Amino acid sequence: MTRQNEYYRSHGRRNVCLESCGWCLMDIGLVVASGIVVLALVAISVYGARTLPPGSMVPVHHGIGGWNNWQPKKLALIVWPATGVLVFGILLAASSTASASGKTTPAVIAPIVLLVVAFSYYNAIRAALRQSGRN
């Protein structure tokens, strides 16, 4: 009997884990939610590509004093979704490792971190639009 089965049995909850791969249905839902947020990052890039004028600059970092590290539009529209995919991959790997060992998974963190990245990215596009004079 796996640790997850013991946990569910001792806490009176129904076993919702998939025995073949060690993933819980909650983890699968969180992975799907994280994937949707990554797709939202791609959608924000498409929005930025369509609305920003040629030659505009987009910030890729928000520091203490405000937006800094402005990059050309083409580079910045690739960096933000790539960051989301990287975060998604790291958290997915950490989640599957923790799930296989029977420990509590950090999968809950993935959608939250990705939502923060998506929110920052949307605000970066808005800042670039303000900078270019298109409000």
Domain extents for the chain? 25-132
pTM of the model: 0.72
Q: pLDDT band for position 32 (50/70/90)?
A: confident
pLDDT in tens, 53-102: 998 999 988 767 777 888 999 999 999 899 889 988 887 777 666 655 55
Average pLDDT over residues 12-24: 50
Q: How far apart are CA 41 and CA 24, in angstroms?
A: 26
Structural contact between residues 127 and 46, judged by C-beta atoms closer than 8 angstroms: no
Residue of 118, 119, 135, 103 whose CA lies nearest to 3: 103
